[in-house]
């Protein structure tokens, strides 16, 4: 029997026994036998004679203390414990590893031939024995030896030497002047095409920029490079932060578990988050690439210069950096649309996580496998917590806080408390109560009631806050609650309390609050939790008419979208009730009329209009129910789409034709394409040969956004032409795996009873590869996430498909397996039959003899 993996606790944190003053690494690269020599100077912090180093799957070849072979040590599967040590000493360790057989994509591995590393969170211990924890910072010198068939030998910092060896190989030596924890170490070696550029910083220094991509992909590199330069300029102008090395390198690799990694001076990216041109990437891809390039760049200060004391503090760098990348996207593009994106991610994914068995605070208190905590909670809810501080402090106060944070902690490994203290001390805004956000679990609910006193012209708003059931915190949270009151004409009414005008962001600090607004001439329509000012659920008895009023008049794009979502949700609830008692239900005519008006006017931001026309996704609908009524929800969404299509054919056709699109990358171009695609999506549902022609014509577009929009319309409506179009796409794009991922996703999200059979067959497609996370996510990730009807099939075939795959992934790549298990985590939200079927799959995993820590932690939590 294997031992059960043990949890580690935040409360048990102990400072490291030793510090390391310098590390010298040397690699001799060979696919199955890379030798790693590590030489470091260790200094005991309080007279310790014992040193425990982390190390996993390493072959120990040699061990020297102060140049002498050391024999007083003990080895286990994860540790090397050295005894009888002096208080300061040189330690030299020789290990051997096998990159070519490392399919976990953690440590040193090969991605389609190229060597690369992924050390966050705890991958460095798969390279050599080390104090692999973020609070041990040191400088690195790295020498890489490799065959000349590998032209580029890269590591962090500046290249200080290179040359040829006697045996006809070559080497390069790198020096990183900044102290860093081991998780920021990187090595890349391979043959690439390189896009070079330059950035002149605000102080006039020249920084060399280099983007390494697979041979033949240079024409897909410029967008990422432009994004990088924009990010560098933005961080200077908005945060007054300048880049600190003379060179910034980005490498794109095909095999990667996440989006990208912020290694100091040498970012490694999933190629899906770098490569783009108009033929191969959608407008959404362009946007994602810009934001991820920004995200990794922004880590240079928030993460690298100031890092985390321990992994429980992950949100210190991730929440803050997501906030920064969101602001970057918002300053450069549409603030409203970016806010909509962020809120959609929170509602669809974070709320579900917070309501399920893996619920944790943004600063978790216990962890078995750290890789399981790179979550929407730590990242996205973490960013919402930073955003709340930003709204409490204002931009100026927040920037003062950032400055103090860097003044105090540059070069250190710190905690979330240190961050909040800097914010509080710099701004003078008290954040003691606010800090509970770092401990609480689950989504708080705000119950709101209002009363209008026509006589006194007073409008009162009563808010009570309620913790989620699973929340260990019971004291009230400090919640910024933004509100707007609209009059009959849709104008915002000034908020007057006790004779004074107040700002729209109110502070909730107790269980219940009453706000009394004066001089309100007629009954207003309240816009509640405006801009999603806190990650909460608002319960308020809106009437459909009130929501439609907000959609028409609210000043913010976000508020209008939010009201439309609420209107759809209200309608879905009504429809579910009606269908449950055997009635039929069609989308309310006033809502149809509003959509019609919006389509006819087409004023304002067309991209927003496209969002307004989009129904909430299945997850957002599911979140409203104790027990998700899968079949009825599928039916209702289907009916509503059909209602919209039937009633608005003429308007949709007109809007489609009016959306002039000249292949521009501008916001107008992006908006026009979004509009064309949403129109086609609905139009495909009405049988009309003209529309089939439009779809076929658009599917021949040279622009991937349009091409894919046409295919999505065809496949989701299952038009006769869809097979022909899909086959054509397959033939056209087999040489480009990232493009084929789009095709795999379309296959997987087709709601057809043959879909599951098709998916099993697609495992044999020449482009498919279970060891590549992008392929797996494209095919099976999209299926489980975006094909509710087939994934949740009553006979359990969808669950079996995922279960079968997880068993294989557990052995190939535990990190990816663990991310892919997410759809099973909310098994309790479904009816008895589906619960049983999902549980069967979870139990199959639990029974695996070689179950990874990653899956163990989740499966165990799901079943207990
Ligand atoms: N720090 C990375 C980011 O947010 C995340 C990351 C990349 C990661 N690769 C990983 C986390 C592997 C865990 C494991 O930008
Ligand atoms: Zn990050």
pLDDT per residue over 703-725, tens digit each? 999 999 999 999 999 999 999 99
Letter string b/e over residues 176-192, b meaning 16 or more CB atoms within 10 A of that residue's CB: bebbbbbbbbbbbbbeb
In a domain, 699, yes or no: no
Question: H helices of 501-616, where?
Answer: 544-553, 557-580, 589-601, 606-612
Cα–Cα distance, 561 to 481 (Å, whole number):
18
CA 750 to ligand 1 center in whole angstroms: 31
pLDDT per residue over 734-785, tens digit each? 999 999 999 999 999 999 999 999 999 999 999 999 999 999 999 999 999 9
**Which ligand is nearest to the Cα of residue 375, counting in written order?**
1
Which CATH number characterizes residue 796's domain? 1.25.50.10
pTM value surpassing 0.85: yes
In a domain, 835, yes or no: yes
Ligand 1 atom nearest to CA at 299: 15
Cα–Cα distance, 276 to 378 (Å, whole number):
29
Q: Give the mean pLDDT of 819-829.
A: 98
CA 299 to ligand 2 center in whole angstroms: 7
Structure confidence at residue 664 (pLDDT): 86
User: What's the structural domain count of the chain?
Assistant: 3
Structure confidence at residue 2 (pLDDT): 60
Most informative mutation of 120, 288, 314 for ligand 1 (most atoms within 8 A of CB): 120
- The verdict on the CB of residue 819 being under 6 Å from ligand 1 is no
In a domain, 513, yes or no: yes
Give the domain range for residue 748: 734-864
pLDDT per residue over 184-195, tens digit each? 999 999 999 999
pLDDT per residue over 590-601, tens digit each? 999 999 999 999
- Residue 316's φ and ψ, nearest 5 degrees, are -50, -45
In a domain, 775, yes or no: yes
End-of-domain residue from the set 541, 575, 609: 541
CA 294 to ligand 2 center in whole angstroms: 10
Q: Locate tokens 């924009």: which residue?
A: 230
Cα–Cα distance, 630 to 752 (Å, whole number):
16
In a domain, 675, yes or no: no
Residues with CB under 5 A from ligand 2 (ion): 318, 321
Residue 683 near residue 657, CB atoms below 8 Å: no
Ligand 1 atom nearest to CA at 260: 7
Q: Locate tokens 């190939």: which residue?
A: 812
Confidence tier at 1 by pLDDT (50, 70, 90): very low
Residue 243, token pair as written in the block? 């880049």
- The verdict on the CB of residue 317 being under 6 Å from ligand 1 is no
- The verdict on the CB of residue 318 being under 6 Å from ligand 1 is yes
Q: Give the mean pLDDT of 673-690.
A: 97
- The verdict on the CB of residue 369 being under 6 Å from ligand 1 is no
Say whether 296 is catalytic. Answer: yes
List the residue whose alpha carbon is closest to atom 5 of ligand 1: 261
Residue 294 near residue 283, CB atoms below 8 Å: no
- The verdict on the CB of residue 155 being under 6 Å from ligand 1 is no
- How much of the chain exceeds pLDDT 90, in percent? 98
User: How many Cβ atoms from other residues are within 10 Å of residue 408's Cβ?
Assistant: 16
End-of-domain residue from the set 541, 560, 582: 541
CA 158 to ligand 2 center in whole angstroms: 23
Q: How far is C-alpha 8 from the chain's CA centre? A: 25
- The verdict on the CB of residue 261 being under 6 Å from ligand 1 is yes
CA 259 to ligand 2 center in whole angstroms: 9
Letter string b/e over residues 420-434, b meaning 16 or more CB atoms within 10 A of that residue's CB: bbbbbebbebebeeb
In a domain, 69, yes or no: yes
End-of-domain residue from the set 156, 191, 226: 191
In a domain, 768, yes or no: yes
How many residues would you count in the chain?
864
**134-138, 167-171, 601-605, 705-709: least confidently modelled range:** 601-605
Which CATH number characterizes residue 481's domain? 2.60.40.1840
- The verdict on the CB of residue 374 being under 6 Å from ligand 1 is yes
């Amino acid at each position: 029997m294997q031992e059960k993996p043990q949890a580690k606790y935040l409360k048990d944190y102990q400072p490291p026994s030793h510090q390391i003053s310098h590390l010298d690494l040397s690699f001799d690269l060979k696919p199955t036998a890379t030798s790693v020599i590590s030489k470091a100077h260790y200094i005991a912090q309080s007279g310790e004679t014992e040193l425990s180093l982390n190390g996993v799957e390493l072959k120990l070849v040699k061990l020297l203390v102060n140049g002498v072979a050391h024999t007083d040590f003990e080895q286990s599967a994860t540790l090397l414990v050295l005894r009888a040590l002096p208080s300061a000493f040189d330690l030299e360790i020789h290990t051997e590893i096998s990159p070519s057989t490392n399919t976990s994509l953690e440590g040193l591995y090969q991605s389609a031939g190229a060597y690369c590393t992924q050390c966050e969170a705890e991958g460095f211990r798969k390279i050599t024995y080390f104090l692999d924890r973020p609070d041990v910072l040191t400088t690195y010198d790295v020498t890489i030896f490799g065959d000349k068939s590998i032209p580029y030998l890269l590591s962090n910092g500046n290249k200080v030497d290179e040359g040829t060896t006697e045996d006809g190989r070559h080497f390069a030596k790198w020096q990183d002047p900044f102290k860093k924890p081991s998780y920021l170490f990187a090595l890349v070696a391979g043959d690439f095409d390189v896009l070079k550029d330059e950035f002149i910083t605000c102080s006039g220094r020249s920084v060399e920029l280099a983007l390494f991509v697979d041979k033949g992909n240079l024409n897909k590199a410029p967008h990422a490079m432009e994004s990088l330069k924009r990010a560098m300029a933005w961080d200077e102008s908005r945060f007054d932060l300048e880049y600190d090395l003379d060179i910034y390198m980005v490498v794109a690799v095909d095999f990667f578990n996440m989006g990208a990694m912020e290694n100091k001076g040498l970012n490694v990216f999933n190629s899906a988050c770098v490569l783009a041109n108009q033929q191969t990437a959608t407008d959404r891809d362009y946007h994602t690439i810009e934001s991820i390039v920004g995200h990794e760049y922004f880590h240079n200060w928030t993460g690298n210069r100031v890092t985390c004391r321990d992994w429980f503090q992950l949100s210190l760098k991730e929440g803050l950096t997501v906030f920064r990348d969101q602001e970057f996207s918002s300053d450069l593009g549409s603030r409203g649309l970016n806010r909509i994106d962020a809120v959609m991610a929170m509602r669809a994914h974070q709320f579900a996580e917070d309501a399920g068995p893996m619920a944790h605070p943004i600063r978790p208190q216990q962890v078995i496998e750290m890789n399981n905590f790179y979550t929407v909670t730590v990242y996205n809810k973490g960013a919402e917590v930073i955003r709340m501080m930003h709204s409490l402090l204002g931009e100026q106060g927040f920037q003062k806080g950032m400055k103090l944070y860097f003044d105090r902690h540059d070069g250190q490994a710190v905690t979330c408390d240190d961050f909040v203290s800097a914010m509080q001390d710099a701004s003078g805004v008290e954040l003691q109560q606010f800090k509970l956000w770092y401990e609480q679990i689950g989504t708080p609910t705000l119950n709101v009631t209002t009363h209008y006193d026509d006589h006194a012209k007073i409008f009162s708003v009563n808010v009570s806050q309620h913790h989620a059931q699973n929340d260990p915190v019971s004291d009230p949270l400090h919640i910024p609650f933004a509100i707007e009151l609209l009059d009959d004409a849709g104008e915002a009414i000034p908020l007057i309390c006790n004779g004074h005008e107040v700002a729209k962001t109110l502070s909730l600090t107790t269980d219940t609050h009453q706000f009394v607004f004066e001089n309100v001439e007629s009954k207003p329509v309240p816009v509640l939790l405006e801009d999603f000012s806190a990650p909460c659920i608002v319960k308020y008895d809106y009437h459909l008419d009130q929501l439609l009023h907000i959609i028409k008049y609210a000043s913010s794009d976000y508020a209008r979208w939010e009201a439309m979502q609420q209107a759809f949700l209200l309608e879905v609830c009504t429809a579910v009730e009606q269908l449950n008692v055997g009635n039929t239900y069609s989308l309310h005519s006033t809502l149809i009329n509003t959509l019609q008006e919006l389509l006819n006017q087409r004023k304002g931001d067309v991209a927003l209009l496209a969002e307004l026309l989009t129904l909430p996704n299945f997850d957002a609908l599911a979140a409203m129910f104790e027990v998700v009524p899968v079949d009825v929800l599928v039916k209702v969404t289907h009916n509503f789409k059909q209602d919209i299509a039937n009633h608005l054919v003429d308007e949709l056709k007109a809007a489609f034709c009016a959306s002039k699109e000249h292949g521009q990358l501008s916001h107008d171009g992006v908006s026009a394409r979004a509009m064309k695609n949403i129109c086609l999506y609905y139009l495909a549902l009405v049988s009309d040969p003209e529309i089939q022609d439009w779809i076929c014509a658009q599917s021949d577009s040279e622009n991937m956004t349009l091409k894919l929009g046409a295919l999505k319309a065809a496949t989701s409506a299952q038009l006769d032409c869809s097979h022909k179009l899909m086959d054509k796409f397959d033939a056209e794009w087999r040489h480009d795996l990232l493009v084929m991922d789009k095709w795999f996703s379309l296959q997987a999200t087709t709601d057809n009873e043959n879909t599951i059979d098709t998916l099993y067959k697609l495992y044999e497609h020449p482009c498919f590869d279970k060891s590549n996370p992008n392929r797996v996510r494209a095919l099976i990730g999209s299926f489980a996430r975006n094909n509710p009807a087939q994934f949740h099939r009553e006979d359990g075939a969808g669950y079996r498909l995922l279960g079968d795959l997880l068993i294989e992934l557990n052995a190939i790549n535990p990190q990816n397996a663990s991310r892919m298990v997410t759809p099973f985590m909310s098994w309790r939200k479904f009816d008895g039959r589906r619960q049983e079927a999902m549980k069967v799959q979870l139990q199959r995993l639990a029974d695996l003899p070689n179950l990874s820590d990653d899956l163990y932690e989740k499966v165990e939590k799901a079943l207990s």
